[in-house]
Amino acid sequence: MAQIANIISGTLRCAAFAVSLCFVWAQATQASGFLYECDMEDPDQGLGWVSPKIAIVLPGDGSVTVVDALTLTFAEDPVLGRILRDNDARFIVKWTLKDVRADTGRSFANFDYRASIAKSTGRIELTAGPRTFDSGLRSVGTCRKRTE
């Protein structure tokens, strides 16, 4: 699984991420929304299943979209998420990548992600793992709320 990190490190994925981020960013700002731009502190801790940069876009209509190198690799587009909590203290969202395959050849029907962002500090705690596993991978980082 660790070699999957090579997939997300290529220049092409970075360019695709930038283009996708611009697209979803334009959608968010049109509806007076915002995005969380998140930098993960140690993406290697996620064994290639955590992207170093994650964008969580809230366009202002109650929906949420997530884009990172892994969504672009496996879904080829940003993916819709589901808001679990959005209060004064915390924002929690989850999303799923479907039909993913590790570089070892092992495949997973559903690889679930859950991000919890502390609104006062911007700290993100991310868990990721196949739906059939009892425990998942964990990573932390910092998010910056952007409105423009």
* Residue 72: exposure state from Cβ atoms within 10 A (0-12, 13-18, ≥19): buried
76-99 mean pLDDT: 96
Average the pLDDT over 129-133 and give the result.
85
Lookup: tokens for 60: 């202002």
pLDDT band at 18 (very low <50, low <70, confident <90, very high): very low
CB 4: neighbour CB atoms within 10 A? 19
In the predicted structure, residue 110 carries a pLDDT above the cut 70: yes
Look up residue 97 and give its amino acid.
L
| 65 secondary structure, DSSP code | E
**pLDDT top residue among 81 and 30:** 81
Residue pair 36/144 in contact by the 8 Å Cβ criterion: yes
| pLDDT tens column, 21-55 | 444 444 444 557 999 999 999 867 677 889 999 99
